Amino acid sequence: MNLIEGIAFILLETVQGAILADQVADQVVDPAADLIEGLAVDHKADLEADLEADPAADLESDLAADQTVGILEDHINYVSLMGLHLKNKIGNLDKYYKENDTIDIYTIKELLGEGRYGIVYLAIDKDKNKYVVKQLKKEMIKKNENKLFYEELSLKKLQHPYFPKFISRFKDNDREGYILEYIEGEIFEDILRKERYQFNREEIYEVCGQLLDMVEILHSYNIVHGDIRLPNIIRKDNKELSLIDFGLSRIMDKDYYTKKLDYWYIGDFLIHLYYTTYQKVSRIDKPWFKELDLTPEEKVFLKRLMGIEESYENVHEIRQQLNKIKNSN
């Protein structure tokens, strides 16, 4: 048994063991999904961390892990599917769709992913048009019913190419969720970590401008997205961007869900783009604003987005500063 086969075997054993434990605890755990989530960057935890923490180490660690993740990907997917099969067999809370299952006029083609709150599939209609099916997890509906449907409420308000269209809601004896527009393109997570694309300043400023356009529209409807990360931004062939996954979106309030939350995410997003051209010259860890080759104006701009210095009050103010930076370079 080679290393990869050994890891796959251990993962499968973990799934089976967890399922047996679930029968006792009456809870469902997917260790394969937990492993995948563990390999991803936990940006929600970053919100509670020191704002001056160094994302370079985070990004560099992710990049270094990509090769391992790639090698394990097929094995993890296999184990995950085995886990789903076993869990369904013993009566999991969530009944998963299989290939060629139908929901109204939509036919399930493949499982795209799974998170804590939902299970996402690719589906097609009779004309082969693609759609996203988002099945909400029963356990989360019971615990967070009011919060889960913010995505539906948000997308119904938004009618713009920047955001996926809300098509319909579905519910049967076993499952419920909604059908969304499928947006063709690449997510930034793949652009950075698989393609290793290096963004120049002009491209970073263009991305920033589109992100600002997005949040300006969102905030005009009193919506905070709260999750503007690399996996949730799609770049289409024409270089236009789209923002997906509104599962953490909320109605704006005066406490946590404010405009500044989305500004923070934009700053974090841009820092990742700047790091695509970074060449490490020292083993000493430094904060991003000392490590990256930034102009003084860019440092202030990013620090204000991140709340390290006085935060911006609105998108108009941010856009003015961005224009100054563009004109000075």
Domain boundaries defined on the chain: 3-89, 102-181, 186-328
The pLDDT, as a whole number, for residue 20 is 38
Residue 26 identity: D
The CATH H-level (homologous superfamily) assignment of domain 102-181 is Phosphorylase Kinase; domain 1 (3.30.200.20)
Please give the biggest Cα pair distance in the chain: 64
pLDDT in tens, 192-222: 999 999 999 999 999 999 999 999 999 999 9
- SS3 letters for 78-127? HHHHHHHHHHHHCCCCCCCCCCCCEECCEEEEEEEEECCCEEEEEEECCC
User: Could you give the CA distance from residue 236 to residue 241 in angstroms, rounded to a whole number?
Assistant: 6
285 counts as catalytic: no
For the chain, where are the alpha helices, taking DSSP H only? 3-25, 31-39, 43-48, 55-89, 138-148, 150-157, 188-193, 201-220, 259-274, 288-291, 296-306, 315-328
Q: Is the pLDDT of residue 7 over 90?
A: no
- Length reported for the chain: 329
The pLDDT, as a whole number, for residue 305 is 98
pLDDT confidence bin for 147, thresholds 50/70/90 = confident
The CATH H-level (homologous superfamily) assignment of domain 186-328 is Transferase(Phosphotransferase) domain 1 (1.10.510.10)
What percentage of the chain exceeds 70 in pLDDT? 72
Catalytic position from the list 62, 94, 227, 262: 227
pLDDT confidence bin for 281, thresholds 50/70/90 = confident
Read off the tokens for 214.
């997005």
> Given this chain, do its domains 102-181 and 186-328 carry the same CATH topology?
no
Q: Is the pLDDT of residue 55 over 60?
A: no
More confident residue, 171 or 58: 171
Task: State if pTM tops 0.75.
Answer: no
